[in-house]
Structures are given as structure tokens and as C-alpha cells.
Amino acid sequence: MTEGEELFQMDYNIEYANGDFQNGNCMINVNEVVSAFGFANYDALRAYFADKYSDDDNAWQKIVKELQDSGLSPDLDESEGGDNFMTNI
């Protein structure tokens, strides 16, 4: 990533009742994504993902897979933890 670069970014955050959590972040240059998917602009890309995944609880993982299947290498960061995390493994 470079300063001033426009990014396609997705985040997720799951918090469980017992205090455990999972979160993730995906970032990649937005122009690379628009080009790889063959869209004219970001609005068309956004509409595509919104239409396809708006009601999907696994949208983050599926979009990341689509990016990777398109030959892209997004920067990914996922973590999990919490007070009870190690005892639940």
C-alpha cells in the first residue's frame, strides 16, 4: 500500500456473549479490483458485491476468495481472542 492509494477495504467483527471475538480486515488497491472484475468503475463493483452478498453471513470470506480466484493478492489480517479464548480451543 502506498500513501494516497485508493483502497477497497472490508472489515468484519464478531463479538460473542462470553467475551471472545473474531475480526478481520481485507485491503487492496480499488483500481486493481475494478480491473480484475472487468467493471467500468467502483460503483459497478460495489453493486455487484452488494447484490451477490448483501444477506450472506459469510460474505467476507467469499469476497476474499473471489479476489484471490481473480489473481489478486489482498492484504489480509484476521485475529481472534478474548478472556475465554484459549480455554475454548
Give residue-wise pLDDT tens across range 57-78: 899 999 999 999 999 999 999 8
Rg (CA), the chain: 15
Per-residue pLDDT of 17-48, as tens digits, reads: 888 888 999 999 999 999 999 999 999 999 99
How far apart CA 10 and CA 59 sit, in angstroms, is 10
Q: Contact 78/23 with Cβ under 8 angstroms?
A: yes
Q: Residue ranges of the domains in the chain?
A: 7-84
Note the pTM of the prediction, 2 decimals: 0.79
